[in-house]
Structure 1
Amino acid sequence: MNTIGNRILIIDSDKNFLESASHFLLEKGYEVYEASQSIQGVEIAKSVIPHLILLDIDFSDVNGIEACQNLREILELNSTLIVFVSTHNEDFVQIACFKAGADDYFTKPLKNNVLHFRIQALLKRQSSNNHPLNANNIESDTTIEIDSEKFIVKVGRNNVSLPKKQFFLLQLLMSYPSKVYTRDTILELVWGNKNRIGGRAVDVYIRKLREKIGSKHIVTIKGVGYRFDH
């Protein structure tokens, strides 16, 4: 896979890891940005719109889990992969990271060559997932039609295949356009039990849905939830 042009942001309080990983990934052809504090990292992410973020958990300002939640609120970062890289190996910590919107979790210590190949695999998968719709078609014709009986979604002239939960999520949002649905309401109506998964998991499904149908129609109401606009 060609790594040239892929932007990676490393947000990590461990200066040794930050310097080592940055240097190694630069040599592999990535465009690398660094931040040693989470708030600084979020601001850099807004500016450079990285393809992938490597995020630590322990910071002196805002912890990485909260930073991940903040990153997932930023519309421009819908397609950005967020990967935690941490010394924490407890199950409950990793679950909290995924609920916050993480795409993967790597445990330190991690050799640079292993880190490189895992990043490659994630970016390759991301690239494959982004092919269902041609970007030009998304911009030129974003009319969305949904056939609930045949489980077919049409965006412009393109038929889009959606997993069941993404289909039900889109169906719910389109049922009452402009109505704002809270995360808890979405969990209850789509999953049937709002306690089964965390509310931030909804953000991950929304992001994946936007990757398939474009980001124009699903609007984030910060701190509340989402609505569908024609």
Structure 2
Amino acid sequence: MSRHKILVIEDETALLEALRYNLEREGFEVLTATDGLSGLQRAQSVLPDLIVLDLMLPVLEGLEVCRRLRDDANTRTIPIVMVTARGEEIDEVVGFQMGADDYVAKPFKVRPLLQRVKALLRRTNVREDQTASIAEQGVEIDRWRHRATLDGRVLPLTPTEFRLLWSLARQPGRAFSRHELMDASMGEDVASLDRTIDVHVKSLRQKLGDRAELIETVRGVGYRFKEASASN
């Protein structure tokens, strides 16, 4: 079985080498880049299984790298863990809106980051003995092909958004708590705040466009996928 390829895009040499050492010790094949443009080009040529992306990068900043990766059909579904020296809430929100799957603020311990990487890879590669596709109110999801469409139009979803939509759409009408949705889409061992799911839901609704009402807010609980027979 081939090893997972992890691309680390980080301009701090000491941190880059520490991440390389610890990821390789966990059995990953590690590729690196020290600026945003070369990191983007390497991601597009190698198509790694996951990207650890610094926010503050020379040549091309991390948010722009993330945006371009999500705009490219070949790299759209690659999980991205964004790393930044900034710790303000607004930076985390912007990172998720740009398509990051998880977010770690510096300074951080390497072990929790490794847990996040493993959790995202497990969620990306899981193949459960369950229905592989869903068709619900114009939304069609093929889990094994990792493809979601709305009325025949392909939805440009991030890996987390895809798993979030799958979790909701497979049980229309069921109210999911934010904790349940974080577990289903990001992994139970990933420490995230409630607003994390809120940001992903907001982005998912934007991509659903005039069908955004398919994802309903359940006050005091979380979210649900609208039942076909439910009234407004």
Assess, with a 3 A threshold, how the Cα gap between structure 1 residues 124 and 171 changes in structure 2: closer, same or farther. same
Given that 2:150 and 2:208 are in contact with CA atoms closer than 8 Å, whether structure 1 keeps it comes out as no
**Structure 1 residue runs without a partner (length 5+):** 135-143, 175-182, 193-230
* Distance in 1 separating the partners of 2:50 and 2:118: 10
1:91-146 residue CA offsets vs partner (Å, 9 max, x unmatched):
11111111111101011122222221221111112222788687xxxxxxxxx995
**Structure 2 residue runs without a partner (length 5+):** 155-203, 214-232
How far is 1:152 from its partner?
Answer: 7.8
Given that 1:146 and 1:171 are in contact with CA atoms closer than 8 Å, whether structure 2 keeps it comes out as no
Partner in structure 2 of residue 107 of structure 1:
105
Partner in structure 2 of residue 42 of structure 1:
40
2:35 matched to 1:14? no
Assess, with a 3 A threshold, how the Cα gap between structure 1 residues 171 and 62 changes in structure 2: closer, same or farther. same
1:193-221 residue CA offsets vs partner (Å, 9 max, x unmatched):
xxxxxxxxxxxxxxxxxxxxxxxxxxxxx
Partner in structure 2 of residue 171 of structure 1:
151
Partner in structure 1 of residue 120 of structure 2:
122
- Aligned positions, number: 163
Given that 2:206 and 2:212 are in contact with CA atoms closer than 8 Å, whether structure 1 keeps it comes out as no
Tell me the SS of whatever aligns to 1:47: helix
* Distance in 1 separating the partners of 2:128 and 2:105: 27
Alignment partner for residue 81 of structure 2, among 80, 83, 87? 83
Partner in structure 1 of residue 221 of structure 2:
none
* Distance in 2 separating the partners of 1:145 and 1:17: 42
Tell me the SS of whatever aligns to 2:153: helix
State the TM-score, normalizing by the size of structure 2: 0.59
The runs of 4+ residues in structure 1 deviating greater than 3 Å are 129-134, 144-148, 151-155, 183-188
Given that 1:85 and 1:106 are in contact with CA atoms closer than 8 Å, whether structure 2 keeps it comes out as yes
After TM superposition, the structure 1 = structure 2 runs for residues 137-176 of structure 1, keeping only pairs within 5 Å, are: 146=135, 148=137, 153=140, 170-171=150-151, 173=153
Assess, with a 3 A threshold, how the Cα gap between structure 1 residues 131 and 145 changes in structure 2: closer, same or farther. closer
* Distance in 2 separating the partners of 1:38 and 1:93: 18
Given that 1:83 and 1:102 are in contact with CA atoms closer than 8 Å, whether structure 2 keeps it comes out as yes
Partner in structure 2 of residue 217 of structure 1:
none
2:111 maps to a residue whose letter is N
How far is 1:69 from its partner?
Answer: 0.3
* Distance in 2 separating the partners of 1:129 and 1:7: 19
Alignment partner for residue 53 of structure 1, among 51, 54, 65? 51
Partner in structure 2 of residue 74 of structure 1:
72
1:20 maps to a residue whose letter is A
Assess, with a 3 A threshold, how the Cα gap between structure 1 residues 14 and 159 changes in structure 2: closer, same or farther. closer
1:52 maps to a residue whose letter is L
Partner in structure 1 of residue 211 of structure 2:
190
How far is 1:30 from its partner?
Answer: 0.2
1:77-99 residue CA offsets vs partner (Å, 9 max, x unmatched):
23210110111111111111111
Given that 1:153 and 1:159 are in contact with CA atoms closer than 8 Å, whether structure 2 keeps it comes out as no
* Distance in 1 separating the partners of 2:141 and 2:60: 41
